[in-house]
Amino acid sequence: MKYNVNAIRNDFPILHREVYNKPLIYLDNGATTQKPLRVINCIRDFQRFRNSSIHRGVHYLSEQATGEFENARKTVQQFIHALHPHEIIFTPGTTASINGIAFSFGEKYVKAGDEILITEMEHHANIVPWQMLCERKKAVLKVIPFSDEGKLKLDELDRLITPKTRLITVIHVSNTLGTVNPVEEIIRKAHASDIPVLVDGAQSVQHTPIDVQKMDCDFFVFSGHKVYGPTGIGILYGKEKWLEELPPFQGGGEMVDVVTMEKTTYNGLPFKFEAGTPNYIGAIALAEALQYISGLGLDHIAAYEQELLDYGISKLSELEYVKLYGTTRPKSAVISFNLDGIHPYDAGMIMDKMGIAVRTGTHCAQPVMQHYGISGTIRASLALYNTCEELDALVDSVKKVKTMFS
β-strands 165-171, 197-200: how paired?
parallel
Which residues within the stretch 354-383 sit at the binding site for ligand PLP (CB under 6 A)? Answer: 364
Quick check: is 388 catalytic? Answer: no
Tell which residue, 156, 77, 169, has the closest CA to residue 125: 169
* 223 lies in the site for ligand PLP, by CB under 6 A: yes
- Which range, of 46-54, 196-204, 353-361, 391-399, touches ligand PLP by CB under 6 A? 196-204
Question: Site for ligand PLP (CB under 6 A): which residue of 11, 200, 274, 390?
Answer: 200
Query: Other CB atoms closer than 10 Å to residue 83's CB: what's the count?
Result: 11
Alpha-carbon span 306 to 302, nearest angstrom = 6
Query: Other CB atoms closer than 10 Å to residue 8's CB: what's the count?
Result: 19
Which residues within the stretch 313-352 sit at the binding site for ligand PLP (CB under 6 A)? Answer: none
Work out whether the CA dihedral 314, 203, 374, 170 comes out positive or negative: negative
Tell me the CA distances in angstroms from 387 to 8, 87, 252, 306, one per residue in order.
Answer: 11, 37, 47, 12
Question: Site for ligand PLP (CB under 6 A): which residue of 171, 183, 316, 393?
Answer: 171
Tell which residue, 69, 7, 30, has the closest CA to residue 288: 69
Q: How many residues does the chain have?
A: 406
* 94 lies in the site for ligand PLP, by CB under 6 A: yes
Least gap, CB of 123 to ligand PLP (angstroms): 4
| Site string (121-150) toward ligand PLP, x via CB under 6 A | --x-xx------------------------
* 35 lies in the site for ligand PLP, by CB under 6 A: no
Question: Site for ligand PLP (CB under 6 A): which residue of 203, 336, 386, 387?
Answer: 203
Among residues 126 and 179, whose Cβ is nearest to ligand PLP?
126
Alpha-carbon span 244 to 311, nearest angstrom = 47
Alpha-carbon span 81 to 77, nearest angstrom = 6
Question: Site for ligand PLP (CB under 6 A): which residue of 93, 100, 178, 270?
Answer: 93
The b/e string for 128-143 (b: 16+ C-beta within 10 A; e otherwise) is: bbbeebbeebebeebb
Question: Site for ligand PLP (CB under 6 A): which residue of 29, 175, 208, 397?
Answer: 175
- Which range, of 46-54, 119-127, 184-192, 394-402, touches ligand PLP by CB under 6 A? 119-127
The catalytic site residues sit at 364
Rule CB under 6 A: which residues touch ligand PLP?
93-95, 123, 125-126, 171, 175, 200, 202-203, 223, 364
